[in-house]
Amino acid sequence: METTDTPRQPDYFLEQRRKAFREMPLPADGVDLAPLEAVLDEFPPVEGSLIPLLQRAQDIYNYLPRSIMARIAQHLRLPWSKVYGVATFYAQFYFEPRGKHVVRVCRGTACHVRGGKRVLEAVKRELRIDDGETTEDMLFSLETVACLGACALAPVMVVGSTYYGRLTPERAGYVLQSYREETDS
């Protein structure tokens, strides 16, 4: 078998498809792309940038709208289906708008034994939403999780990245009210 050092010429049709893809209009979902555009240059247009770029975009928008994923696909020169496939594979990515504060209530064994169910019911009452929902004012989203890894503090709730342990239903309500008051001021 003979090898050659001559570089391969790019496939004309492949280049035409890539050009058409780069020029494809983005979905019109009303999302402002400017904040994303400001960070795209920090990521080289290689497939290895996909997950960090999705994470950064979600940090900016609090979820991943279609137009954002399409713009990321353009930047990385990847098919939209690849970006969507990766984003839907990982539970860390969200495709619906979420509240400013994500409230996670633990359903683990230690929390359950120490009254976690009552805490969860109090949180639902206080926020007037169920697991997986977001308040109408977009201030809170509620999630239940199997374990938060703070069993010694059971029952536990996390708001954003702040842990609240040894909760009672009343204390959980006070915590959430403090976030409401912080937003009102």
Q: What percent of the chain has pLDDT over 70?
A: 85
At residue 25, the pLDDT reads 56
CATH of domain 101-184: 3.40.30.10
Instruction: Write a three-state SS string for the chain.
Output: CCCCCCCCCCCHHHHHHHHHHHCCCCCCCCCCCHHHHHHHCCCCCCHHHHHHHHHHHHHHHCCCCHHHHHHHHHHHCCCHHHHHHHHHHCCCCCCCCCCCEEEEEECCHHHHHCCHHHHHHHHHHHHCCCCCCECCCCCEEEEEECCCCCHHHCCCEEECCEEECCCCHHHHHHHHHHHHHHHHC
- Per-residue pLDDT tens digits for 126-166: 999 999 999 999 999 999 999 999 999 999 999 999 999 99
Domain segments of the chain as ranges: 12-89, 101-184
> Residue 4 pLDDT > 70, yes or no?
no
- Per-residue pLDDT tens digits for 88-116: 999 889 999 999 999 999 999 999 999 99
Pick the more confident residue, 15 or 103. 103
